[in-house]
Structure 1
Amino acid sequence: MEMNEVQKWIKHFYGERGWADYNPFIRVGFLMEETGEVARAVRSYEIGRDRPDESTQSQDQLRHNLIEEIGDVLGNIALLADLYGISLDEAFTAHKQKLLDRFNS
């Protein structure tokens, strides 16, 4: 899927459930929550978790969880961008140009 197609799909899917209607401050809160879950998934994947109240997961399960959490972050980024009329393609193009300008001087 192309980035703009992903963004449209996310907006539609979340929109059908009323999840796309949150204001930018709430959306940023969700983004921060999901970013924390990515951090926890990376920690679990890389060094594990030593908690007796949690079951041990295989590397495949840990990887799958990391993939899902990264997807949750992408979904929130897509919705936040959409709130401001910014396409993911536009955001990536600007990011790429900024890096090229900064590091290819």
Structure 2
Amino acid sequence: MELRKYQSWISEFYKKRNWYQYDPFIRSNFLSEEVGEVCRAIRAIEIGRDRPDEQQSAYQESLENLTEELGDVLDNLLIIADKYNISFDEIMTTHKKKLEQRFNHK
């Protein structure tokens, strides 16, 4: 799916679920929570959780969990960008230009 279409879809989805109304300050806290879940998923893949109250997941199951958590991070980034009327195309173009200028590389 094209990122621009997905950004529009996820914004509408969040509006229908009454999740969109949270301001970017609150949304950034949701983003932080989801980033923590990505870190936890990576830890489970790379070094394991080593908890007696949890079963070790199969590698494929762990990858599926990581994919889901990365999606949650992406969704929160897209919603924050949407609230400021910033497209991901604009973010990527601006960031690429910044990196090329910073590191004198094209």
Tell me if both proteins adopt one fold, taking TM over 0.5 as the criterion: yes
CA deviation after TM superposition for structure 1 residue 55, in Å: 1.2
- Return the alpha-carbon distance in structure 2 between the equivalents of residues 24 and 78 of structure 1: 11
CA deviation after TM superposition for structure 1 residue 6, in Å: 1.2
Q: Is residue 12 of structure 1 aligned with residue 12 of structure 2? A: yes
TM-score normalised by structure 2 residue count:
0.95
Report what 1:46 is aligned to.
46
Opposite residue 65 of structure 1, the aligned amino acid is N
* SS of structure 1 residue aligned to 2:49: coil
CA deviation after TM superposition for structure 1 residue 5, in Å: 0.8
* SS of structure 1 residue aligned to 2:20: helix
**Aligned residues, how many?**
105
Report what 2:66 is aligned to.
66
Which has more helix, going by share of residues?
1
Opposite residue 90 of structure 1, the aligned amino acid is E
Opposite residue 93 of structure 1, the aligned amino acid is T
TM-score normalised by structure 1 residue count:
0.96
Report what 2:75 is aligned to.
75
- Return the alpha-carbon distance in structure 2 between the equivalents of residues 49 and 66 of structure 1: 14
Deviations 1:67-90 (A, max 9, x none): 000000000000000111101111
Identity of aligned residues (%): 54
CA deviation after TM superposition for structure 1 residue 104, in Å: 2.4
* SS of structure 2 residue aligned to 1:20: coil
Opposite residue 45 of structure 1, the aligned amino acid is I
Displaced runs of 4 or more, over 3 A: none
